[in-house]
Amino acid sequence: MSFIEPDIDFIKHLKKDCGSALTTCMQCGNCTAVCDLSPKNNPFPRKEMIWASWGLKEKLLGDPDIWLCHQCGDCSATCPRDIRPGDVIASIRNYCYQHYARPRFVGKIMQKPAFLPLIIGFPVLVISVILLLAGTLKIPEGPVMYSKFFPHGLLNISFLLLVLASFSGFVIGLKQYWENLKHSATVTKPDGTLLPGFFSVLYTILTHKDFRTCTANRYRFWAHFMVFWGFVLLLAVTFYAILATLFFEYPMGFWNPVKILGNIAGLFLLLGCSIMIWQRIIDKEMRANSNYSDWLFIISLSLLTVSGLIVEIARFQNWSYAYHLYFVHLVLVWMVIMYIPYTKFAHFLYRTLAMTYSKYLGRI
């Protein structure tokens, strides 16, 4: 005989995070019936709603189906009890990557507004120490040249170390999540193989085609598509810039093709974030269901993009306070990269793993 051991704290956390009264779910299955992404065999999100209301945290932490949901809102729009299953699944996902990311205490800090000064202050401190040790913690004279303020060598090394440190904790969490996926699997004879399934999933994610199945919130496709590709392209441009400081002409001119690509990517990212913010402002229900971590993520990305565009203009126009703006931009860059494992950017890798494993099992 097996016993159910509910995690009461987990139930309380979900209720507080998504604002949904889990116990009022009457398990009608309407949420599952209207979801076009739900597999026919053992579909979601009805079973996830049951597990959430019972506090079965461990089952949900190893459940790949929470990542198959794209929170399009179709289930929430048709729920007769107004429980908003999509928001519940989103809260479970948020709990999931906070649980797996290492060090775990950083994930807890990211969830509490009281620690915002610490979240901002840490990159400020680190960057200030680097500049102090380099002897460049001062405003250079002459035409604006950011390398005189933060030498390219130090900037490249520190940025690469930052990325390495951030993703090392990421990999540990992803490995643990993969083990939990295998442990919770009910299928013993997979229908597919991992590699072809991975490429199929990668195509789905890169094209965002599953977002097109949404009917309640069709705007989500364009918002997520632009934010995703804007960030990916900006990251690629950043790594090219690192190589350019070593092998090519740098800084790049305004009409340099890579610079143009970076500006287009920045506009993509800014437009996508603007749609997300605007939708949360005009949609009262969405505004009420957007938690602190949602706003921190979107606003950080928006400020990063705006500061990057302003810093670029400041260099070409030789603004006297360009270096002050550059310092703020660096802090925002470090914030976004440093805290990737604990923000919604973690969705990309966790969703990829979950969908690949589901493809491997023949569920999608």
When pLDDT is averaged across residues 57-73 and rounded to a whole number, the result is 87
Determine the pLDDT at residue 288: 57
What CA–CA distance (Å, rounded) separates 182 from 169? 21
308 Cβ neighbours under 8 A, 6+ residues apart: 234, 266, 329
Q: What is the pLDDT of residues 295-309, one digit of tens each?
A: 888 999 999 999 999
Determine the pLDDT at residue 1: 46
Q: What is the pLDDT of residues 31-49, one digit of tens each?
A: 888 888 888 888 898 999 9
274 occurs within a structural domain = yes
Higher pLDDT residue, 341 or 329?
329
119 and 76, same domain (yes or no): no
Please report how many Cα atoms fall inside a 13 Å half-sphere around the Cα of residue 121, on the Cβ side: 6
352 and 247, same domain (yes or no): yes
CA distances, 337 to each of 285, 296, 301, 341, 355 (Å): 30, 14, 10, 9, 24
Confidence of residue 269 (pLDDT cuts 50, 70, 90): very high
When pLDDT is averaged across residues 147-172 and rounded to a whole number, the result is 84
Higher pLDDT residue, 112 or 4?
112
- What residues make up the domain containing 64? 8-100
- Among the candidates 100, 133, 160, a domain finishes at 100
- Among the candidates 54, 70, 100, a domain finishes at 100
When pLDDT is averaged across residues 113-132 and rounded to a whole number, the result is 91
3 occurs within a structural domain = no
CA dihedral 270, 272, 275, 277 (to 10 degrees): -60
pTM above 0.95, yes or no: no
Determine the pLDDT at residue 304: 93
178 and 260, same domain (yes or no): yes
- What CATH number has the domain bearing residue 124? 1.20.950
72 occurs within a structural domain = yes
Q: What is the pLDDT of residues 238-252, one digit of tens each?
A: 888 888 877 777 777
94 and 109, same domain (yes or no): no
Determine the pLDDT at residue 167: 82
What CA–CA distance (Å, rounded) separates 146 from 100? 37
Determine the pLDDT at residue 83: 84
Confidence of residue 272 (pLDDT cuts 50, 70, 90): very high
70 and 127, same domain (yes or no): no
Determine the pLDDT at residue 225: 92
What CA–CA distance (Å, rounded) separates 357 from 193? 9
In the predicted structure, residue 325 carries a pLDDT above the cut 50: yes
355 and 229, same domain (yes or no): yes
> Is residue 126 exposed (0-12), middle (13-18) or buried (19+ Cβ within 10 Å)?
middle
In the predicted structure, residue 98 carries a pLDDT above the cut 50: yes
319 and 207, same domain (yes or no): yes
CA distances, 342 to each of 52, 152, 288 (Å): 22, 28, 22
144 and 272, same domain (yes or no): yes
Determine the pLDDT at residue 284: 67
Overall number of domains in the chain = 2
**Ranges 1-5, 105-109, 116-120, most confident:** 116-120
Q: What is the pLDDT of residues 194-231, one digit of tens each?
A: 788 888 899 998 998 888 777 766 778 888 899 999 99
109 occurs within a structural domain = yes
Using a pLDDT cut of 70, give the percent of the chain over it: 95
Q: Are 44 and 35 in contact (CB under 8 A)?
A: yes
In the predicted structure, residue 60 carries a pLDDT above the cut 70: yes
Please report how many Cα atoms fall inside a 13 Å half-sphere around the Cα of residue 62, on the Cβ side: 14
2 occurs within a structural domain = no
152 and 87, same domain (yes or no): no
132 occurs within a structural domain = yes
Give the pair of three-digit tokens for residue 90.
């989103």
Sign of CA dihedral 45, 47, 53, 55: negative
309 occurs within a structural domain = yes
Higher pLDDT residue, 72 or 326?
326
122 and 164, same domain (yes or no): yes
In the predicted structure, residue 117 carries a pLDDT above the cut 90: yes
When pLDDT is averaged across residues 271-296 and rounded to a whole number, the result is 80
Determine the pLDDT at residue 289: 67
318 occurs within a structural domain = yes
114 and 82, same domain (yes or no): no
- Among the candidates 62, 82, 100, a domain finishes at 100
Give the pair of three-digit tokens for residue 352.
């990829």
Determine the pLDDT at residue 285: 65
292 and 355, same domain (yes or no): yes
